[in-house]
Chains A and B, each alone.
Chain A
Amino acid sequence: MRSTWWPYLRAALITLVMASQCVSAFPKRALDEAQLARPEARRNLRWLGRVLRPFGERSAAELQHSVIQLSRTQVALRNALLAPVAPLIHATAVRQQWHLFLTAKDRVYRLRLDAKTSQPHDTWHTLYGTNQTDVLGLAEVLDYRRLRAIYNPSQTGVSAQYAAFVDWLMHRVWSEHPDFSALRVGLERIELGSTASDHDADLAYAVERERPWNP
C-alpha cells in the first residue's frame, strides 16, 4: 500500500533540490571595480542608471559602489543558503555555473612544438602547430579536451599543470624521436583581424630544452 506522506515528502525534497540548484547558478564571485570597467559592464551600468533615475539621480561612482555592495551581499547570501547542502555538492562535484564560450577575445593562441636536429647551425622546425602542422601525428592526442584545458590559456593565463604538460610532451616526443637535439613548446600569439603572421614572433609561455634531459 502506498503511504500518504511520501508524495508530500518527495515534492518537498524535489523543491529543495531545485531551489538549491537555482541558488547555485547565481554568481559565486562578487563584482569588482576592474570588472565594472569593462565596456559591457559600463553599458549595463548606464542602462541601470536610466532605469533608476525616477527614484533619484545617482552619480556613476555611486551607482558602481551600490552594484558592488549588492553583488557582495548576493554572494554572501548565496553561500549562506548553500551551506547546509555544501557537503552534498562537494561529494557529487555538481555545479551550476555555465560559462559557455564567454572568452572569445581579440588575442588567441596556438600550441606549437618546435625541434632542432643535431646538425650544425640547424634552426627550429615546427613539428606541431594546432590545425596547421602535424609532422608526428600528435593532433588527436593534443586536441583531446581534458589535455587542451591544461595548455589553452584562460583570462588568467595557463593552468598550474602547464609546466608538467610541457615536460610530458617533450618526454613523449623524445622517447619516440631521440634524434632531435632540442625541443621548444610554447603558445603562438594570434591577434584576431590582423593579417600579419606571428609565427616568428616570441612564443608565449615558451619552454626550451636540449638533450640530454632528465625530467
Chain B
Amino acid sequence: MEPVSRISRYVRFWDRYESAESMALVRIGVGLVMLFDLLQVALYELVVTLWAAIEQGGLGPSSYDEPRVMFYRWFGASSTSTYVLFVSSIVTAGALTVGLYTRVSALVLLFCSVQLSTLAPEGDRGIDALLRSVLILIALSEAGATWSVDARMRFGSFKRLAIIPSWPRYLIIAQLCLVYVTAGILKQSPEWTGMDGYSALWRVLNTPHISRFEWSSETLSRMYVPLQAATVITLIFERGAAFLPFLLWLGAHPTRGGWFGAWLRRGRLLELWIATGVVFHLLLAALTKLGIFPWGCLALYPALAQPRSVRRLVYGSALRPAWKAVFGREPSAG
C-alpha cells in the first residue's frame, strides 16, 4: 500500500461521524458522578474545610499570602469566594448532566475542578484527573446534541438524530485503555504477584481506611482463595485492556480479522472484558470506600458502545415498556 493512502486512511479514521447517543450517555454519567461528589461535600459541611484559605478555617495549603489559585487571586481568598467556586461547580455539573450550554458547562466545570484540585491537592485523586481529561473531550465533542436541554432549545425536542464526530469517543476509549494498562503494568509489588501469593485484594479488605466493612480474620481466611483468584483476574482485566481497541475493531467489522478474528468473536472476548469491568467496579463500590472512583470509571463505559447499539437499547424493544411507563408513550428516535 502506498504511504499516501495510509495517511489518507488515518485521516479518514479521525474524520468519521456517528449519532450522538454514546457521547450523550458519557456526558450524563460524568455530570452525575461529579454532581454527586460535590453534593456529598455540601452534605458533610466540608466546603470551607477542604478548600478555604487557612485563615478562613480551611485545612490548607492555601492562605492569604499564598492563594495558590487563579480564582482566589482574582476575587480574594475569602470564604465567599470558596462558596462561589463550589456553587459554580455544582451548577455546571448539573448543567452538564442535563445538557444545558454543554460546551460552556464542561469548560467552566473543568476550570472549577482545576481550582479545587490545586486548593486541596491531597484530596485530588486519580479519578478527578480522569474526569477532567474527559471533560475536555466532552467540551470538544457535541455531546449535548441529543438527550439535552440544548437540543430542546435549538430543535424543539430533547432527543433527535444528531450526527457528530466520532473522534472524542475514540479518545475516551484510548484514555480508558491507558488507565487500565498502566495501572496493570505498575502492579509489580509482591502482593500483586506470586511472590506473595497474589494477596493484594485480601490486604485491601484488611485495610480499614479502604474496606467498607470490618471483616473478621476467620471470614477473610475463608475468602483468601477467591480473593487470590480475584487478584489474578484484576491483573488480566487491566493488562488485557491493551487489546481492547483490537476487540472493538473486530466487533465493528464482522467480516474482518480472518480465522483468528472469527475465533475471538465466537469467544465473545469483548463482551467478557466489558462484563468483567462492570462487575469489577460494582464490587469495588460495594466492598470499598473509594468514593466516586468506580462510578466515574463506569460513566465512561458507554463510550465503548456503538451509538447504534445504544439507540437499539433505548428505542428498541428492551427498554420500551420502561420508557412508556416513565414518559407515557412509545419511544421514538427522531
Looking at chain B's contact residues, the main secondary structure is helix
Expressed in whole angstroms, the Cα–Cα distance for A97 and B188 within the complex equals 15
Collect the chain A residues with CB atoms within 8 Å of residue B44's CB.
Answer: 140-141, 144
The answer to whether A144 touches B40 (Cβ under 8 A) is yes
Stretch at the interface among A13-21, A49-57, A73-81, A206-214: A13-21
Collect the chain A residues with CB atoms within 8 Å of residue B41's CB.
Answer: 144, 146
Q: Which residue of A lies closest to B199 (CB)?
A: A104
Q: Mark A127-162, 1 if CB is under 8 A from B, else 0.
A: 000111000000011011111111010000001110
Shortest CB–CB separation between residue B33 and chain A, in angstroms? 12
Expressed in whole angstroms, the Cα–Cα distance for A38 and B189 within the complex equals 8
Collect the chain A residues with CB atoms within 8 Å of residue B201's CB.
Answer: 104
The answer to whether B11 touches A101 (Cβ under 8 A) is no
Q: Mark A33-52, 1 if CB is under 8 A from B, else 0.
A: 00000111101100000000
The answer to whether A111 touches B59 (Cβ under 8 A) is no
Does B161 make an interface contact (CB < 8 A)?
A: no
The answer to whether A149 touches B125 (Cβ under 8 A) is yes
Does A10 make an interface contact (CB < 8 A)?
A: yes
For the A-B complex, the count of residue pairs with Cβ-Cβ distances under 8 Å equals 170
Shortest CB–CB separation between residue A78 and chain B, in angstroms? 13
The answer to whether A17 touches B183 (Cβ under 8 A) is no
Expressed in whole angstroms, the Cα–Cα distance for A163 and B205 within the complex equals 27
Shortest CB–CB separation between residue A138 and chain B, in angstroms? 10
Known contacts A7-B15, A105-B203, A144-B40; A132/B214 CB under 8 A: yes
Does B136 make an interface contact (CB < 8 A)?
A: yes
Shortest CB–CB separation between residue B255 and chain A, in angstroms? 26
B residues 154-186 touching A (CB-CB < 8 Å): 167, 171, 174-175, 178-179, 182-183, 186
Known contacts A98-B186, A99-B183, A161-B59; A145/B204 CB under 8 A: no
Shortest CB–CB separation between residue A94 and chain B, in angstroms? 5
Interchain CB contact (< 8 A) of A146 among B50, B57, B126, B195:
B50
Q: Which residue of B lies closest to A141 (CB)?
A: B44
Shortest CB–CB separation between residue B261 and chain A, in angstroms? 24
The answer to whether A150 touches B59 (Cβ under 8 A) is yes
Expressed in whole angstroms, the Cα–Cα distance for A100 and B188 within the complex equals 12
Collect the chain B residues with CB atoms within 8 Å of residue A111's CB.
Answer: 208-209
Expressed in whole angstroms, the Cα–Cα distance for A138 and B69 within the complex equals 30
Collect the chain A residues with CB atoms within 8 Å of residue B78's CB.
Answer: none
Does A60 make an interface contact (CB < 8 A)?
A: no
Shortest CB–CB separation between residue B189 and chain A, in angstroms? 5
Collect the chain B residues with CB atoms within 8 Å of residue A164's CB.
Answer: 54, 59-60
Expressed in whole angstroms, the Cα–Cα distance for A179 and B160 within the complex equals 62
Does B18 make an interface contact (CB < 8 A)?
A: no
Does A102 make an interface contact (CB < 8 A)?
A: yes
The answer to whether A94 touches B50 (Cβ under 8 A) is no
Known contacts A99-B186, A149-B122; A11/B14 CB under 8 A: yes
Shortest CB–CB separation between residue A18 and chain B, in angstroms? 6
Stretch at the interface among B94-102, B113-121, B264-272, B302-310: B113-121
Does B88 make an interface contact (CB < 8 A)?
A: no
The answer to whether A94 touches B136 (Cβ under 8 A) is yes
Q: Which residue of A lies closest to B58 (CB)?
A: A164
Collect the chain B residues with CB atoms within 8 Å of residue A10's CB.
Answer: 14-15, 167
Instruction: Sample 9 A-B pairs with CB under 8 A, ordered by A number.
Output: A10-B15, A40-B195, A43-B193, A145-B123, A146-B122, A147-B49, A150-B123, A160-B60, A161-B61
Give the A-binding residues of B (Cβ under 8 A): 10-15, 40-41, 44-46, 49-50, 54, 57, 59-61, 110, 113-114, 117-118, 120, 122-126, 129, 132-133, 136, 167, 171, 174-175, 178-179, 182-183, 186-193, 195, 199-201, 203-204, 206-209, 211-214, 217, 289-293
Since A102-B189, A104-B200, A160-B122 are in contact, a sample of 16 more A-B pairs with Cβ atoms closer than 8 Å, ordered by chain A residue number, is A14-B14, A21-B174, A44-B188, A91-B114, A92-B136, A93-B114, A94-B129, A98-B126, A99-B183, A101-B187, A104-B191, A130-B209, A132-B214, A146-B50, A159-B122, A165-B59
